[in-house]
Structure formats: structure tokens, C-alpha cells
Amino acid sequence: MNKIKQILLFALLAFPLVYVSAQKDKKTEVQNIDVLNIGSLAYPSAIEERSDIPFRLLVDEQYRKLLGDTIDYEKFRPALIFFEKGFKAPAEGQKKMTFGYITVTVMTGQYRFPKVLSDVQKKKLEQSIRHDVDTNLVGTDFKVTKWNYFDFVRINGLFAMQYSYQQELKKKDPIVTAVTTMYDSDVQLQITLSAPKKEYNKWLLYYNTMVQSFVRSVNIADIATLRYPTTIAERKDIPFKYLVDKEFKRILGDSADYEKFRPGLLFLDRDFEIGDSTDVAPFGSLSLNVIPEFNKRVLNKDSLNLRILEQNIKAGVQVNIDSTAYKISSWGDFYLTETKGLPTLIYSYTQRKAEGEPSDIYSACIFDKTLQIQLTASAPESQSAEWKSHFEDILSSYHRLQPVAGRGTVIYPLELEERSDIPFVKLVDAESKKKLGDSINYEQFRPACLFLKKDFNENDSLQLADFGSITISDRTGDFARLSYPDSISTDSIELNMRASVERNLSNTRYNLVSWDSFDAKSKNGCRYITYSYTQQIEGNEPKRIVCTNIYTNTSQTQVILTASDSEFLFWKPQYDILTDSFRLQGWR
């Protein structure tokens, strides 16, 4: 590992922070937060994630002297940083004192550990970590004064290392650190607690809640995400032929290419193993398939004919088991519901052979605009309750995504609908049309994504006269100066953006009523610059505008909310969900 990166990772273990107020709220309520694109954690309501604080202000003076002022500290920011509610970041040069915090860092790669580590392997890992901790204190006045414990455990099926130690600065202000590092096959997740010794027990409660709560997530073709427990895993390592039932192997034969029948995703118990590939015992599984569909609009639940769907599915299942020894012994209920605003068909059945344990099947079909997602759990009756629980938890975790072509994704707002089907000229307001004229091709101004209310009717002249919207536009270019916090002062950026708004309103009847807010922060690998203002045509209702520019070195993604003053409270929460959820492609 790069030496500077190592130092900064361990610098997190000694934040010098200003004490403002320690909330005494020890309620057990928890909130969920995404950990990049790999999963989610639950955290107590007494703490909050603070990616808004410039990372340079959180690195201890000892390390800043060692590393200098020219380094870009932001690129070493952990994925998440939690402080108690009410925490105020230190100002530059302000006298500091230690304070509790929890960080979450993520690394991707290939990780393989045996089910049981030998004492020799454990000793080598422990020595390596102790050496890394000591090495990264070289050049500072910090000293490790005590190692508390070093354990190798399983946490919800994942191999994990847990250790704790105490360090001091010039024999004062003892700081206790606890670290849990969990390993999946492709991800290393590290949760680190550091707190003054006198506050350690309080922070340990927060930390333990988070450590036990981690679940994985999977992105489905940039259309949706699902969460799944770490006790199961996607098992591409097992040849699909070994997992196919004997009855179907008998029909297909040995020469068939079984991999072409593999579902898009296949989850098995994390520790599932095959001893004899010719005689695999019944097992539980959960599969997911995606079938393309081409609908202009999202289907309405009431537009689906449940009776016909039930008839077709029953006929299809029967065709699949014809020529096998399986028989359907019972069908469960068929019913239509909604999953995050999408119509969803749920059904179940039990099948069995003359001999052997019955198997229960639970299935859901989610109908989206461009695809149908099929989620199916199958398990022998003795394991059915466990796999039904997995099925229900995964289905309830479903989140629709809206791809921003070539750039990333956002969570699809629940109360809105993306309306690329409407000719854009219909949606351009009268003032802009007056300014641009009739001969122009308005499609060239169409944003990458356009969200309107679900019940919006483009053929209703009253709705067209005044409607709210959220648009997403994207472009490439050189945005290095705007993407780095220290390149241009925020005052200069705000001045330029306000001037741009005033130019756009010139030669229209709109007046800039108020400049309402301006904010700049870094998160999710990007720089977010957000401003809001109110504009009004005399005699008409004011319009509220919120604009968030999301910058990388080479891209600008712009998200704009436009809504009348009376509807702003409906639109703003939808907008916040959308902007907060933006993830770059490949960003872990």
C-alpha cells in the first residue's frame, strides 16, 4: 500500500476534534445508510454521518505536519464518518481536543479465507496488523500503550477480524480504538471506533449496533438495487450443472450446456458446498432474472388482469414439470401489490415427487417500464421458513434506479415518473419560447432525465400552464477547478452562479425575488455545489428553483427542481432523495 495512503488511513485513529455538545440521547432507534454501492449499515439516531466536513480539518496536527499542506486530503476520505449529533467541526488553527467518532472504509478485491484458521495463521495476521499500527505512528508523538484483544470471528456469515488498543499522546488523553474488518469474496469493510477512554463505553454501544447490521446490495443493470443478508451469497463459483435437479438432468442429458440456463443471479447459503456432484442433497436457493419489456409508461396495477396472469403462470409451471416425476401438490394465493410504486405479482406453490421431501416455491414478478424482474425462492419444506424470510426481506428492499446515461444512477423518486415520452416542446414555458422562437428544434434542449408527477397529463392545458419538474442534465469537459474544494473560493463560485441566473432571466418577465441558499460539499467521490432562488412574474405565483451541480474532474451532472411556491414542500423531499442517491458508474 502507498505509504501516504497508509498514514492517512491510520491518521483517522487520532482525530483532534472540538467539543461542542455531547448529546445524551441513547435511544435505540436506528437509521439505514448506504455504504457506497456494496451494501448498507444501520446506525443509532444519536449519531449522524458528516461527509460535509472538509477532511483536512479532521486529520490530526501530528499527521498534517508529517504530510504537509499541498496534499489533497479529500481523496483519502473514508466512505462514511459518524459523529454525535451537535458536533461542530474545528476551524483552521483552532485549539483542538479529542472526540469520539466512527469511520467506515471499503476496499474491493478478491478475498479468500479458510473456514478455520490455524494458530500460526492467526499469529501472522495479528503480528502484521500490530506492525502496521506501530509503523504508522512513526514520526508522531503517539504511542500504543496497550493492546486489549485480537479475535477472529464470524459475523452474520462473514469472516472478520476484531481488535482493540489504547494509544496516548505525550502520556495524556488516552484514546481507545476498536476495529472490525469483515471480508466478503469481493469486498473488505472496516468499521473503526475511536474515542477518549472516558467516553468509550458510550461509543461502543453505537459501534456494536453498526457492526452487526451490515447487509450486502446488488445493482441490477442500473435499473434497481436489492439488499440481501450476508448469510447467503451469489455463488458463480459452482457449475450450474451440479445445481440442476436430477429430473431435469434426465430430460436435458449430459451434453447440454447447463450454464445457459443459469439465472441472472443465484444465491445459496454462504457455506454451501457440494461433496458428491452426482448426488446433491436438497437445498434452498434464491434466483433473480430480468426480462426486457418495452412500455412507454409504467404499468398501473389496475391495468393487469390477475385472472389471466394466474392462468398463464399455472400453465407455464405445468409445462415445465411435465415429463418429470414432480407434481403440484398445492397452490398458494395469487395477488397483485406494489413494490416501490411498481405493480408486482406474488404467488407460491408446493411441488413434490412420490418419494422425498416437498419443495416450496415463492415468486414475485415486478413490472417496470423497460423490464420485468422475477425473484424466486425455492427450498425443501424443512428450510422453507428461512428462505421465505430471505425472499420477503429482499423483495421489500427493492429500490428503483434511474440511469443517467454514461455517468451513473439515482434512486427513482417514489411519487414521480420519468417522462421521456412527452415531446419536449410541450413542456417549455411560454417565456422561454418567446425568447427562443418557434423555428428552433426544442428536442436539442431535452435533459437526460425528466421527472413529473405520476398523474401529470400533457394534454391538459391547465397542467401545462404551471407544473413542477426535476430534470437531470449531464456533460463532459474540464471541471477540475470546480471539482476540487480549494481551487476556487466558494464566494467566487456563488458570485458567478448568481450572475448566470440573472443573465438567464434577462429579456424575460421573470424577476429574481430572492437568492435563498448556497452550499458546497464533497461526497460519493464528487463535489456538490447547490444553490436555490425564487423567481416570479408580476401577478403570478412565485417559483422556487433548486440547482445541484455534481462535479468530477471531467463531468458536470446538473439536477434542477422547478416548482411553484405552493407545491415546493411536495417536491423538495423527492429532490433530496434523488440528489443524495447519485452514484457514479463503478463507484464502490
- Per run of 10 residues, the mean pLDDT along the chain (length 588 residues) is 37 35 50 87 94 77 69 80 88 71 91 84 93 86 91 94 92 89 93 95 96 93 91 92 90 90 95 87 95 81 93 95 92 96 96 91 92 95 97 95 90 92 89 81 92 94 93 95 85 96 92 96 86 96 97 95 97 95 76
Assess if residue 266 is contained within a domain. yes
Residue where a domain stops, chosen among 165, 188, 213: 213
Assess if residue 507 is contained within a domain. yes
Find residue 409's DSSP bridge partners: 403, 583
How far are the Cα atoms of 17, 21, 133, 334, 521 from residue 175, in angstroms, in the given order?
13, 19, 14, 58, 29
- Kindly state whether residues 413 and 540 are assigned to the same domain: yes
Assess if residue 403 is contained within a domain. no
How far are the Cα atoms of 123, 173, 176 from residue 142, in angstroms, in the given order?
25, 11, 12
Rg (CA), the chain: 28
Residue where a domain stops, chosen among 397, 431, 465: 397
Closest by CA to 14, choosing from 74, 59, 77, is 59
Assess if residue 70 is contained within a domain. yes
Q: What is the pLDDT of residue 77?
A: 84
d(CA 367, CA 375): 12
Q: What is the pLDDT of residue 109?
A: 85
Rounded to 5°, the CA angle 337-342-346 comes to 35
Q: H-helix or E-strand containing 522? A: strand 510-523
Contact between 192 and 178 (Cβ < 8 Å): yes
Please enumerate in sequence order all residues whose Cβ is within 8 A of that of 513, keeping only pairs 6 or more positions apart, or say none.
Answer: 533, 534, 535, 536, 542
- Kindly state whether residues 323 and 427 are assigned to the same domain: no
pLDDT tens, position by position, 495-525: 999 999 999 999 889 999 999 999 998 877 7
Q: What is the pLDDT of residue 97?
A: 62
Contact between 537 and 430 (Cβ < 8 Å): no
**Which structural domain, as residue segments, surrounds residue 126?**
3-213
pTM, two decimals, is: 0.82
Whichever domain contains 437, its CATH number is 3.40.1000.10
d(CA 472, CA 562): 12
d(CA 200, CA 281): 48
Assess if residue 577 is contained within a domain. yes
- Kindly state whether residues 238 and 341 are assigned to the same domain: yes
Q: What is the pLDDT of residue 160?
A: 95
Check the CA dihedral 254-255-256-260 and report its sign. positive
Q: What is the pLDDT of residue 406?
A: 84
- Kindly state whether residues 268 and 392 are assigned to the same domain: yes
- Kindly state whether residues 120 and 235 are assigned to the same domain: no
Please enumerate in sequence order all residues whose Cβ is within 8 A of that of 313, keeping only pairs 6 or more positions apart, or say none.
Answer: 334, 345, 347
Please enumerate in sequence order all residues whose Cβ is within 8 A of that of 400, keeping only pairs 6 or more positions apart, or say none.
Answer: 223, 224, 340, 341, 342, 368, 411, 412
Assess if residue 219 is contained within a domain. no
How far are the Cα atoms of 99, 142, 238, 343, 521 from residue 58, in angstroms, in the given order?
11, 16, 45, 47, 15
- Kindly state whether residues 180 and 277 are assigned to the same domain: no
d(CA 350, CA 377): 12
- Kindly state whether residues 241 and 351 are assigned to the same domain: yes
Q: Which amino acid is at 70?
A: T
Residue where a domain stops, chosen among 397, 418, 450: 397
Tally the domains of the chain.
3
How far are the Cα atoms of 252, 281, 308, 329, 416 from residue 323, in angstroms, in the given order?
11, 22, 25, 16, 47
Q: What is the pLDDT of residue 113?
A: 77
Q: What is the pLDDT of residue 586?
A: 66
- Kindly state whether residues 165 and 256 are assigned to the same domain: no
Put residue 42 in one of left, alpha, beta given phi > 0 → left and psi -120 to 50 → alpha: beta
pLDDT tens, position by position, 160-177: 999 999 998 877 779 999
Please enumerate in sequence order all residues whose Cβ is within 8 A of that of 369, keeping only pairs 6 or more positions apart, or say none.
Answer: 293, 295, 296, 297, 298, 299, 418
Please enumerate in sequence order all residues whose Cβ is within 8 A of that of 113, keeping only pairs 6 or more positions apart, or say none.
Answer: 159, 183
Strands (E) located in 170-269: 172-183, 187-196, 215-220, 224-228, 232-234, 265-269
Assess if residue 232 is contained within a domain. yes
Output the nine-digit C-alpha cell for 498.
448568481
Closest by CA to 245, choosing from 213, 280, 198, is 280
Q: What is the pLDDT of residue 293?
A: 78
Following DSSP, what letter does each residue of 426-484 receive, concatenated? Answer: GGS-HHHHHHH-SSS-GGGG--SEEEEETT--TT-HHHHHS--EEEEEEEES--HHHHS
- Kindly state whether residues 461 and 336 are assigned to the same domain: no
Q: H-helix or E-strand containing 534? A: strand 526-537
- Kindly state whether residues 318 and 462 are assigned to the same domain: no
Check the CA dihedral 69-71-75-78 and report its sign. negative
- Kindly state whether residues 247 and 205 are assigned to the same domain: no
- Kindly state whether residues 274 and 177 are assigned to the same domain: no
Share of the chain residues as helix, strand and coil, in percent rounded to the nearest 5: 30, 40, 35
CA 131 to chain centre: 34
d(CA 393, CA 156): 15
Assess if residue 218 is contained within a domain. no
- Round to the nearest angstrom and report the end-to-end CA distance of the chain: 19
